[in-house]
Structure 1
């Protein structure tokens, strides 16, 4: 893989993240858009579009940083744990999935039902499983666990700042671009290497 392909991957992922962030904002905050449609306030609408586009771009940059950090972590893990690295990854996945339910539920002090945290975590796991299956199908079976690790663990680490924000709006605005960008990078990497 040459520099031109890496730069192309960067720009495409950046664009994908920006669009995903903007489209997500239409579903997460439709009221803000509606307020500026009646009466029509063009400058405010442009500001909203730029803000949410920028937030999606930010999520994309976070995703790309996490992806390149993961490439280093994976090689480091292979060197350190050798044949036990897949087992370590599975244990870390289980730990992160447990943490995604336990800690936010405790932080909410029972105000939010634990079912919502279980559903959120299950959704992340299902999407990650699907992406990992696609990666393993297009490359080889041994790519499944590293791909699942990346989609669950690294995505969760990237998502932490939005999870700590007040309310769920920023969590939704961040997770959708993160999942899309991470899945895109993971599935595109081996295609770039083949080309």
Structure 2
């Protein structure tokens, strides 16, 4: 992949993450940004674009870290099949962690674990859809790595917001991460013009 394509991937991911996060952030705090003067709206949107750009940069670091980890995993286990099993186990472990540990840390008295299952299960379903699209666009061998990246790497990048457990920050942080990660996964093979 030449430098022009790398630059395109960088800036397009930055744009996708920034805009998606700014839209969600604007909707979440609509009354804050629309009350007062035009400058309040302007600087509010500018702040949203900036903070969401920072989150999409985290997404890009995670993406290139995963590409390195994937190569390391293939070399370590000497078999794509074995490395895929390891990734599936890690996906299951992360989904369990998202449910159980968040329940233990943040559940109010009388609250059941079922409320904490919604978000991780939706993330898993979303990951399965994106992995299917990736495999359809490249080959079946790309399914597990794409699922792992969408579920596990996105969750790792999302940890700062998960530890705070503020619904507004959960969504403001999550939106640029998931859109940027999705964009990178579904764009890379188009840029390299080869099956991955």
TM-score by length of 1: 0.93
Q: What residue is the counterpart of 1:20 in the other structure?
A: 20
User: Would you identify which runs of 4 or more consecutive aligned residues in structure 1 move more than 2 Å?
Assistant: 109-116
- Unmatched tracts of structure 1, length 5 or more: none
Residues paired across the two proteins, number: 191
> Pairwise mapping of residues 12-91 of structure 1 onto structure 2 (< 5 A)?
12-34=12-34, 36=35, 40-83=36-79, 84-91=82-89
User: 1:82 and 1:116 mapped to 2: Cα distance?
Assistant: 40
Please, which runs of 5 or more residues in structure 2 have no aligned partner? none
The Cα offsets for residues 9-53 of structure 1, whole Å up to 9 and x where unpaired, read as 10000011110111011222223124x1xxx31222222111111
Range with greater deviation from structure 2 (134-143 or 45-54)? 45-54
Q: Which moved more, 1:100-109 or 1:131-140?
A: 100-109
Q: Distance in 2 between matches of 1:79 and 1:23?
A: 41
- Equivalent position SS for 1:164: helix
Whole-Å Cα distance in 1 between the matches of residues 32 and 132 of structure 2?
38
**1:105 counterpart (103, 106, 126):** 103
